[in-house]
Amino acid sequence: MPRMIRRIAAVAMFATALAGCGDRVTPPAGTASQPQASKPANAPTPQTASAPSKPAPADRQHPHLQLALVDGKRYDLAQHRGRWVVVNFWATWCGPCLKEMPELSALASKGTVDVIGLAYEDIEAKDMQAFLATHKPAYPIAILDTFNPPADFDTPRGLPMTVIVAPDGSVAKTVLGPVTTAVIEQAISQHGTKASG
């Protein structure tokens, strides 16, 4: 019974907090909600999260991330220092998330940038393993506890959400909405730190 209550709560939370998967994105706090013109599904425009009005806590500037992966291994973001890391929040039910998965896989396969996918949904490990057997991303996947997401990252206001972490461990850019290789490469170029590999 507690599991059913948890699932109902998760569904209710997603219905309100993440109804914007794709084109509709919740505006940042303090801005008026404006109706957005619909965009063609084949031409999504990534939105860069606005800079906070006050300095972010130190852990948000240099986030830590340690968790179990779906394959049973452990992931530690600190072990990737010296490399660019793309941290992608996504869900199996999110169309734009699935659309960007092949591009993120291609980027990960090049070996110059590391990618990790954080499934932000209430899903059993066996169901995720079945999903991954079909979609086969070329990067590791972890399932997040939606009631206890990683404290050092902003809670997604919509999916997908991508955080680009520089080789020094700092957050270079956060993108709310679909991300492309071009957007990631531009963030790397603007940051002025080369990717290793």
pLDDT (0 to 100) of residue 143: 98
In the numeric block, which tokens belong to residue 94?
Answer: 């999110």
pLDDT (0 to 100) of residue 45: 46
Angstrom distance (rounded) from CA 151 to CA 146 = 11
pLDDT (0 to 100) of residue 192: 75
The enclosing H or E element of 6 equals helix 2-17
SS3 labels along 11-44 = HHHHHHHCCCCCCCCCCCCCCCCCCCCCCCCCCC
Say how many CA atoms lie within 13 Å of 65 toward its Cβ.
32
Strands 74-76 vs 84-90: parallel, antiparallel or unpaired:
unpaired
Q: If we measure between CA atoms, which residue out of 169, 176, 106 comes closest to residue 136?
A: 106
pLDDT in 10s for each residue of the chain, 197 residues? 455 455 544 544 444 444 456 543 333 333 333 333 333 444 444 454 444 444 444 467 899 999 999 999 999 999 999 999 999 999 999 999 999 999 999 999 999 999 999 999 999 999 999 999 999 999 999 999 999 999 999 999 999 999 999 999 999 999 999 999 999 999 999 987 555 44
On whether the CB atoms of residues 177 and 26 are closer than 8 A, the answer is no
Instruction: Please give the single-letter amino acid code of residue 118.
Output: L
pTM metric for this prediction: 0.72
On whether the CB atoms of residues 160 and 137 are closer than 8 A, the answer is no
pLDDT (0 to 100) of residue 173: 96
The SS3 call for residue 73 is coil
Angstrom distance (rounded) from CA 4 to CA 1 = 5
Q: Where are the beta strands (DSSP E) in the chain?
A: 47-48, 66-68, 74-76, 84-90, 113-119, 141-143, 161-165, 171-176
Cis amide bond preceding 160, omega within 30: yes
Helices 95-110 and 181-191 cross at an angle (nearest 10°) of 60
pLDDT (0 to 100) of residue 60: 74
pLDDT (0 to 100) of residue 194: 53
